[in-house]
Amino acid sequence: MNTTDKNRAPSAAAKDVSHKANKDHVVIFDTTLRDGEQSPGATMTHAEKLEIAGLLDEMGVDIIEAGFPIASEGDFSAVSEIARTAQRAVICGLARAQIRDIDRCWEAVQHARQPRIHTFIGTSPLHRAIPNLTQDEMADRIHQTVTHARNLCDNVQWSPMDATRTEWDYLCRVVEIAIKAGASTINIPDTVGYTAPVESADLIRRLIAEVPGAQDVIFATHCHNDLGMATANSLAAVEGGARQIECTINGLGERAGNTALEEVVMAMKVRRDIMPYTTSIDTRKIMNISRRVAAVSGFAVQFNKAIVGKNAFAHESGIHQDGMLKNAETFEIMRPEDVGISGTSLPLGKHSGRAALRAKLKDLGIEAGDNQLKDIFVRFKDLADRKKEVFDDDLLALVSTTGEGE
């Protein structure tokens, strides 16, 4: 196989993405099926992976990282089939910096309308120590493997794993090598969730300013959530000039997870005034795919998770419910319909007030006069003190017995 550095210009496929990405378009790269599935216990079946890939494709994800083809026969066949069936997304497979990994990856993704090979190597001192490579030896390996990938596929992404803990000079040097060898996307992973927003933006800004050839490629950000900063770090990287965000549905991923797709996409949609970027995501499909990923991975979504948690559009306290009944914008910064939820919910509990009770009774077809409402309210509060949530059936039972014994 020819591994000569051809110093190529960006490929047609890369140009297509970078054209959109040059200004204000942020490419969404979903890795639920690769990094997400690496969460201990989140393994998905072949059929489940195909279903999720189909939903991601329909939702408008630009690039689906479908798996790690050399990892297992199962991963290989899932990536191959996703490559064959995807309608519009670029289909990407992951490969270590080894020729056999890259060949296997290509075997799987080559069937796609738009295939991509994503190859990576750990560049920080800790990661260089594992294969026991010197800086020069690793640089040679990067040159050789990216060139090899580019000889197979005109859309190659390269990642220096643990970039945020890699020495600055060395990071610049290897990024330049990967660009010269033909990578059209350079992903900067914060593999252990170590960076902070200010640094995340600065790192990308400096790479774009200082590395020769950086203007011709797309920089991507790939954040993990160990300190709870993955979303903030990803958005900061975009401020610094990154135009691809790598993320997963529900933030699924190793340890504390990856950047959550729904969070970065909705943040850019809701705060376009200060983050003037677009994505191709049909946000109304978010809730359905969130539920499906939770179901197939077995990872339930926490109730207070931003955007997709059960309580993300629920209001229990009297003041909030009253405000919501008057004007939804009082306590909601986005419309539930925009993320595929049918509407706000006003669950009744001990913090709820008269306005929400009256509205709920009306929904149930009960028009209560002022006196009757007063009675029902007293009994409702008594019940709510004993029960976490008062459901419709509880309320109906309570109404039917109000006035008894008086």
161 binds, among ligand KIV, Zn ion, none (CB under 5 to 8 A by kind): ligand KIV
Q: Does 191 bind ligand KIV (CB under 6 A)?
A: yes
Residue selected from 10, 115, 189, 193 as contacting ligand KIV according to rule CB under 6 A = 189
**C-alpha–C-alpha distance, residues 258 and 273, integer Å:** 26
Q: Known binder of ligand: residue 143?
A: no
Radius of gyration over every alpha carbon of the chain, rounded to an integer in angstroms: 25
Cβ proximity to Zn ion, 114 vs 221, nearer residue: 221
Q: How many residues does the chain have?
A: 406
Residue selected from 49, 148, 222, 350 as contacting ligand KIV according to rule CB under 6 A = 222
- Restricted to residues 223-262, the positions that interact with ligand KIV (CB under 6 A) are 224
Residue 162: CB minimum distance to ligand KIV, A: 6
Identify which range of 84-92, 184-192, 303-311, 319-327 contacts ligand KIV by CB under 6 A.
184-192
- Judge contact between 23 and 239, C-beta under 8 A: no
- Kindly list the distances between the CA atom of residue 381 and the CA atoms of 45, 376, 394, in Å, as whole numbers in the listed order: 47, 9, 12
Identify which range of 76-84, 185-193, 205-213, 367-375 contacts ligand KIV by CB under 6 A.
185-193
Give every CB contact of residue 365 below 8 A, 6+ residues apart in sequence: none
Residue 188: CB minimum distance to Zn ion, A: 11
# residues contacting ligand KIV (CB under 6 A): 9
151 binds, among Zn ion, ligand KIV, none (CB under 5 to 8 A by kind): none
Q: Own/partner pairs for 54-57, CB < 8 Å, 24+ apart?
A: 54/85, 55/285, 55/288, 55/289, 55/292, 56/30, 56/32, 56/89, 56/249, 56/289, 57/86, 57/87, 57/88, 57/89
Name the residue among 247, 243, 155, 246 with its Cα closest to residue 207.
243
The string of DSSP codes covering 117-138 is EEEEEE-SHHHHHTTT--HHHH
- Judge contact between 261 and 307, C-beta under 8 A: no
Residue 13: CB minimum distance to ligand KIV, A: 20
Q: Known binder of ligand: residue 320?
A: no
159 binds, among ligand KIV, Zn ion, none (CB under 5 to 8 A by kind): ligand KIV
Tell me, residue by residue from 9 to 48, as one string, x for binding to Zn ion by CB under 5 A and - for no binding. --------------------------x-------------
**Neighbour-count burial of 205, counting CB atoms closer than 10 A to its CB (0-12 exposed, 13-18 middle, 19+ buried):** middle
Residue set of the binding site for Mn(2+): 35, 222, 224, 258
Query: What residues line the site for ligand KIV (CB under 6 A)?
Result: 35, 120, 159, 161, 187, 189, 191, 222, 224
Query: What residues line the site for Zn ion (CB under 5 A)?
Result: 35
